[in-house]
Structure 1
Amino acid sequence: MSNYDVIIIGGGPGGYNAAVRAGQLGLKAACVEGRATLGGTCLNVGCMPSKALLHASELYEAATRGELANLGIEVTPSLNLAQMMKQKDDSVASLTQGIEYLFRKNKVEWIKGWGRITGPGQVEVTAADGQTSRLQAKDIVIATGSEPTPLPGVEIDNQRILDSTGALSLPEVPRHLVVIGAGVIGLELGSVWRRLGSQVTVVEYLDRICPGTDLETGKTLQRALSKQGIGFRLGTKVTSATPSASGVQLSVEPAAGGEAELIQADYVLVAIGRRPFTRGLGLENVGLATDPRGLLAHQGHRTEVPGIWVIGDVTSGPMLAHKAEDEAMACIERIAGKAAEVNYALIPSVIYTRPELASVGQTEEQLKAAGRAYKTGKFPFSANSRSKINHETEGFAKVLADAQTDEILGVHLVGPSVSEMIGEYCVAMEFSASAEDIALTCHPHPTRSEALRQAAMNVQGLATQI
């Protein structure tokens, strides 16, 4: 039996960051991962490959729909889908190899195989060839992530009915792609294939897209995507999907009840969310059980079983890679006897469509429900110099601040490159900044970031730019 200070089960953003931090703190660490490459869903079949396709599809659309021609750049583009997929795969491979380098640098051992807890401090690993090995450690960190949530009546085969992994590797551009679910994954992947030439229809059970986001920003994003050609069927449920060699026939009906309707598609993407992955983990061997949602509970990342910790998608909180990374650092530092904390109130969220949507803190709907008095400052990107010059004027920046103290309570951005700008407000809110603090901070001109300052200025109605 091999002995370690800490064993991490799962090599995704939570798991590999936990392993690296353990090595940095001088702990003897092992990371158990059954995939052929490290990085988990995010790096292999999630965040990273989707961003590669989003970027490539944006450039393709700029060339095919006249955006470059308007700038005086004349080209005659053609789509090489195989090469687009290859550059995506090459980028992913480079990133996963980078994690292997970090493991070597910090003396982390990658145990290749699927881990199963067999008792307190004990993990059995089954390799691809069926051979097993036993590991032992004082502390075990569960970081096994999540998997796509299935939809009753719609069986995923990744031939015609796809999950997010299948939608990242289609061999052809669909004539008609139906996306079930108007959340982050559905909107991002729907955007990719729409830009490459598909007719895209998004079917959503709720009466809005982007559940949980600020309502105004969500509606603004929906209008932008609708103008681009994405169709939305809100308040609609899918009751069945019948695949054939050439496509899929969907049966849909109003969520509130009503007459059924048939929709014909070439492919269907099921993107109704993700659920924790705990199958085969051996939780019963140490007396652990999930809640009705499949989540493992924790207090400060400690489960109710001494020596077993949990981070990432498999526990409560938003299923986001950067949330898992934060939890990984805090968890390992606690194992090492250090003080650590995760501020769950300030975990940003981003939808990487075009325009992008980014937010941090509370929404207007949450503040109203809590009865908290607040002021709003907004500034449109149509009045921002850099956005106008770059022909990227859709959307706005919105700052919500306490009516009495002026403390920033929430920030909601929809517009160009806002994923890169939300971090400014994450830092500001960590220091309990006021809107006035941002309003008095010099921003470079001309940049899109000036919209963030102008929105803060407008909390008091004092924006100066047009």
Structure 2
Amino acid sequence: MQSFDVAVIGGGSAGSAAVKQAARRGANACIIQDSHFGGVCLNLGCMPAKAMLYASNQYWSMKNLHSVVPGVEVSGSIDGRAFMKRVHDLVLELREKTESGMASRDDITIYRGSARLTGRHSLSIDAHDGTHEIRADSIVIATGSHPIRPGFAPWQNKRIMVSDDALQAADLPESILIIGGGVIGCEFATAYSQLGIRTHLVEMADKLVPTMDNSEISGFITSSLSGSGCEILLDTQVCGIKETSDGLSVDVNGREIQVSHVLVSVGRAANIENIGLENAGVDTREGIIAVDECCRTNIDHIYAAGDVAEHMQYAHLAERMGRVAGDNAAGGSLTDERNIVPIGIYTNPQVAIVKNRDIEFDPADLALMKYPYTESGTAKIYGYAQGKVVLRIVKETGQLVEAYWWGDHAVDMIHEAVLSIKNNIKLSTIFNTIHAHPSFQEIFSEMAENYTDRKVRKNHTINLCM
């Protein structure tokens, strides 16, 4: 039986980060991955989805080019197969780079196969070259998640898809009904509707992205999707799906909608089954493996990271958790409370949010600052009329508590707010930091300037450009 200091199960964002961090600390480390390295994000999630979104955004922008180049009209149809081939080619290129990068590591042992815990220090690997039994002082579980397939859908019909299927499809759908108005559903609705595909988005709740406690953000997304021609059906339930001669008929609250395809996007579930958790005594809670700020489970030397151990399913959080888990598995002491995590929604325009989820403030001590894109010279240059930046701050100190950014480039722009909240950087410091001009990022600087001016005048009723 071969022995290792650290064994990592799973080669996605979390697992890859974990094994690299363990090796960085000098541990004799191995990683077990059955499919391609890069996990869901690279192969079946973030990267192909954003490739679709970028291309659809470009098409939408060209169709609306007359707004910035008066007199120009652009027309043309989409070749669905060519569109999806570009997506697949991009994934293949990124996958090959990731695979070759991992294969080139001489400080990491790679097993191709699936692993199962057989004890608190032992694993059995059903590998491509046979069965291997290994022992490890520490173990990191990073098995990821999978799309939920609810029982009401006739899954034998290949026109009914989850996100994995939609991103691997050879062609675009002629028309589509999306079940689930969360982040993933809204992003797919953006891509399809901007391409001129008849799109219906069904959500049981009374707003889109219902898990986010911010009705204004839901309103932003609703507005942008409606603007691209997507029909949004809130407070609506899918009662049945029937096959027709040329597609599907979906019963939504008694109304029959005919489409070529249905995309079910009602969440993802952690991959906690059939990995031997019971053999090692690892506890689960609310469908995930329970971990602390060190990504440690109830078993001291067993760690878990990424979607399998966190309800917030974001690749960047998974990577951070993997680094924390790998560091501690190799004898380190890295921690992360996972209380400050930026969230990006790649609708058009984008939405980005960050806040400290663990600190409560008296509302009387806080103030809102709002800055619409209509006041930004840079936004006017680019022809972006839709957008707003909102900061929630402590009035007396200028400490940033929460930020959300709705508009083009929002996900890129949110990181100054992330850095400020994480490191308690006050708005006065932002004001005294030179920002490039013209840029979208200088909106943050202008808001800091406004706070500083009001602070000087001892006026805490901060309300910029309501």
Give structure 1 stretches of 5+ with no counterpart.
254-259
1:267 deviation in Å? 0.9
Structure 2 counterpart of 1:380: 372
Pair 1:95–1:170, CA change in 2 (3 A):
closer
SS in structure 2 of the partner of residue 404 of structure 1: coil
SS at match of 1:224: helix
Taking structure 1 as reference, are residues 281 and 75 closer, same or farther at Cα in structure 2, changes over 3 Å only?
A: same
**Aligned residue runs from structure 1 range 53-452, under 5 A:** 53-67=52-66, 70=69, 77-103=76-102, 104-105=104-105, 107-128=107-128, 131-157=130-156, 159-211=158-210, 212-253=212-253, 260-291=254-285, 293-299=286-292, 300-361=294-355, 371=363, 373-452=365-444
CA contact (8 A) 2:430 2:448 kept: yes
Offset at 1:452?
Answer: 2.1
When residues 206 and 376 of structure 1 are mapped into structure 2, their CA distance, relative to the original with a 3 A threshold, is same
- The structural deviation recorded for 1:315 is 1.2
For residue 135 of structure 1, report the CA deviation from its aligned partner.
Answer: 1.8
- Distance in structure 1 (CA, Å) of the matches to 2:433 and 2:193: 40
How far apart, in 2, do the equivalents of 1:335 and 1:75 lie?
56
Structure-1 separation of matches of 2:100 and 2:107: 10
Shift of 1:294: 1.3
Residue aligning to 1:454: 446
Contact 1:201 1:231 in 2 (8 A): yes
Aligned to 2:257, what secondary structure does the other structure show?
A: strand
Equivalent residues, number: 454
Shift of residue 281 of structure 1? Answer: 0.5
Offset at 1:416? 0.6
CA deviation vs aligned residue, 1:311-333 (integer Å, no higher than 9, x gap): 11111341111111111111122
Aligned with 1:150: secondary structure?
coil
Change (3 A) 1:367 1:240: farther
SS in 2 for 1:344: coil
Aligned to 2:14: 14
In structure 2, C-alpha distance between the alignment counterparts of 1:42 and 1:327, rounded to whole Å: 15
Question: What's the secondary structure of 2:118's corresponding residue?
Answer: strand
Instruction: Measure the CA separation in 2 of the matches of 1:27 and 1:294.
Output: 31
2:373 partner amino acid:
F
Shift of 1:70: 2.6
Deviations 1:161-207 (A, max 9, x none): 11001122334443431111111111111111112221111111111
Distance 1:46 1:245 in 2: 31
Return the alpha-carbon distance in structure 1 between the equivalents of residues 295 and 380 of structure 2.
Answer: 46
Go from structure 1 to structure 2 and tell me whether the alpha carbon gap of 1:404 and 1:49 turns closer, same or farther (over 3 Å shift). same
Residue type at the aligned position of 1:115: A
Q: 1:251 to 1:96 in 2, by over 3 A?
A: same
Q: Is the 8 A contact 1:214 1:412 kept in 2?
A: no
Q: How far apart are 1:348 and its partner, in Å?
A: 0.3
1:256 aligns to what?
none
Kindly indicate whether the alpha-carbon contact (under 8 Å) linking 2:9 and 2:15 is maintained by their aligned counterparts in 1.
Answer: yes
Length-normalised TM-score, structure 2:
0.90
**CA distance 1:169–1:215, shift in 2 (3 Å):** same
CA contact (8 A) 1:167 1:189 kept: no
Contact 2:368 2:462 (C-alpha < 8 Å) held by counterparts: no
Deviation of 1:349 after TM superposition, in Å, equals 0.2
Structure 2 CA distance for aligned equivalents of residues 155 and 17 of structure 1 = 38
Q: Hey, what's the Cα distance between the residues in 2 that align with 1:2 and 1:71? A: 69
Cα distance 1:221–1:307, how it changes in 2: closer, same or farther (>3 A)? same
The aligned residue for residue 457 of structure 2 is: none
SS at match of 2:239: strand
Structure 1 residues 62-110: Cα deviation after superposition (integer angstroms, max 9, x where no partner): 3344458836777654423222222222221222223234322362222
Structure 2 residue matching 1:16: 3-state secondary structure: helix
Distance 2:80 2:405 in 1: 32
Q: Distance between the aligned counterparts of 2:154 and 2:19, measured in 1?
A: 36
Q: Tell me, yes or no, if the aligned pair for 1:23 and 1:106 is still in contact at 8 Å.
A: no
Instruction: Give the Cα separation in 2 of the matches to 1:128 and 1:81.
Output: 36
Structure-1-length-normalised TM-score: 0.90
Distance in 1 separating the partners of 2:465 and 2:346: 27
Structure 1 position 136, deviation (Å)? 1.5
Q: Report sequence identity in percent.
A: 30
Whether contact under 8 Å (1:8, 1:30) holds in the other structure is yes
Distance verdict in 2 for CA 1:246–1:2, change over 3 Å: farther
Q: How far apart are the structure 2 equivalents of 1:156 and 1:276?
A: 20
Instruction: Indicate the SS of the match to 2:249.
Output: strand
Task: Indicate the larger mover: 270-279 or 452-461.
Answer: 452-461
Structure 1 residues 372 and 41: CA distance shift in structure 2, 3 A: farther
CA contact (8 A) 2:189 2:225 kept: no
CA distance, structure 2, for counterparts of residue 115 and residue 245 of structure 1: 43
Over residues 422-466 of structure 1, what are the superposed CA-to-partner deviations in whole Å (9 max), with x where a residue is unaligned?
111111112112233323433211111122223344454789999
